[in-house]
Structures are given as structure tokens and as C-alpha cells.
Structure 1
Amino acid sequence: MAAAVLVDADVEMGRELLRILDETNFPVTAAAWIYFPDIEEWRLVIRTPKAEKNLQQALLELAVSLDSRGDLRKRLDLSRVKLVPPQDKMLAAMGSIVKVEGISSIRFSRNVINGVLIDDALIYRLAA
């Protein structure tokens, strides 16, 4: 079966979400679109310490941030956004190889790091 394609609109929505979260002081130490081959879907994975403390509250804060800035919540299906705690294995594996500050767009494909397979990813931010 053919892999799903990450389209330009998704890439732009990811950047927009990251800018909104930065403006609302929602802490983000990593953000990347990651392709999950087992479900054949791209997910916007966001690493935040808020996910470790109270994931449900963190998701609510993310939604409130989106509601306060434009119409992104109407365009971005929040079921495709995944908040993860600081110890997330996939982002930690990528972070052992790549560091990205600010908001960037670095493609990271077909890699196995410390036994973790990263089929495909587009990294916006990957801080230590």
C-alpha cells in the first residue's frame, strides 16, 4: 500500500500551530510531523512538559490557544496532533542526532536510531 503524503498545507499548519503555541507561552521542546506506517498516517507530534503532568489539561490548553488565534482549529484535525512527554522515545532518538531551534523544516527519513525506526519525519524543532 502506498504511504500517505505529507502535503504543503499540513506543513504550513504545523508551522502555524508552533507559532501560536510560542505566542501563548505553551512550552514546546520538540515538534515534528512523523509518519506512522502501522496506521499509514502522519501525526504532528509535540513534546511538552505539560503532557507529563496532566495530558488532558495540556490538550485543553492547546485547544484554547488555537481558539484564541484565527481559524487553525477548523483546518487542523486535532486527532492528528499528539502531545508527548519529555521522555518520548522517538523524539529522544531523533534528538540524539539532530538539534533544531526555532522553527525549521528538516526532513529525516528511513533511519533506525538506538533501535527506534523513524520511517519519515519533518522536524520543526528538536531542542535538548
Structure 2
Amino acid sequence: MGTATLVDQEIQDGKRLIDALNQAGLSVKSALWLYLPEKETWRLMLTSPIFDKEGSLKTYKEIISVFGKVQPELNINWMNLVAVSPKHKLIQGLRKLQKDWNLSLLGKRLTNNMVNHIYVDDAYIYQIE
């Protein structure tokens, strides 16, 4: 992406990728754009049970395979995709936040917050399961 601003096109393309991954059977459980201020870039963080069952290499292989087939072409740099375990500390913290406060983070923006001892400068959350 290369900019500090997450634009609607990237949010829409992220959703299209998540939908395509789910249709392909990858089962994305949690997904969010996360801004990394030290790199001045956004990363699309995705979780799937495949990560814990078959490892990161298999997960990335599946994601990239689907990524290349989405039409029209996605306006996302594939190098900005991050696959993590559903047990990732940030994901667990967001899950707990939803549960403790009885709220849904679906489609929400999270800025300048601490989540499970992780500082979140900015994030756009598609879903947390």
C-alpha cells in the first residue's frame, strides 16, 4: 500500500479476498487491517485453523493461490498479507474485548488502544472469531 491512510478501495479488496478465501475452504476466522507505524504501512492480518494444523507455509501457499485468482485483480500487495494463528495474542485480546463488553467489532475502526498488552495505532476489523 505504501501510505499511512487506509482507503475504501483497500477495505473493499480485503473483503473480496476474505470472501474468496472462505469460498475456497480456507475458513478465515479473524481478519483485520493493522497499521504498523514503524514501517508506515498496513498489513492484512488473517487467521485460519489451517495455520495451527498445517503450519504457516501451507497457509501462505493457500492464501497466495486464491489471491492470484481473484477477479478483478486486487489492489493489495501480497507482501502485506500476514497469516497468524487464531491463538495470536492480538486476536485473543480482541476476542476477549468483544466477549467482556458484549459487542461486535465487525466493521469497526480501532485507534490508539491497548489490546492484550499490544498497542494498536490503527486497525480496521472485518471480523474476530
Q: Deviations over 1:5-31 (max 9, x none)?
A: 111111111111011011111111100
**TM-score, normalised on structure 2?**
0.84
Match of 1:107 in 2: 109
Task: Show structure 1 runs of 4+ deviating over 2 A.
Answer: 66-69, 98-101
Query: Within 2, Cα distance between the matches of 1:106 and 1:85?
Result: 21
Opposite residue 15 of structure 1, the aligned amino acid is K
Match of 1:66 in 2: 67
SS in 1 for 2:90: helix
Once the 2 structures are TM-superposed, how far is the Cα of residue 40 of structure 1 from its aligned partner? 1.4
How much identity, in percent, do the aligned residues show? 24
**TM-score, normalised on structure 1?**
0.84
Q: Deviations over 1:46-102 (max 9, x none)?
A: 0112223221111111122233332435x321101100012111121122113659x
Q: Map of 1:1-128 to 2, 5 A cutoff?
A: 4-52=4-52, 53-72=54-73, 75-98=75-98, 100=104, 104-127=106-129
Structure 1: state its 5+ residue gaps.
none
Structure 2: state its 5+ residue gaps.
none
Q: Is the 8 A contact 1:110 1:117 kept in 2?
A: yes
- CA 1:23–1:112 in 2, change beyond 3 Å: closer, same or farther? same
Opposite residue 128 of structure 2, the aligned amino acid is L
Q: Is the 8 A contact 2:90 2:116 kept in 1?
A: no
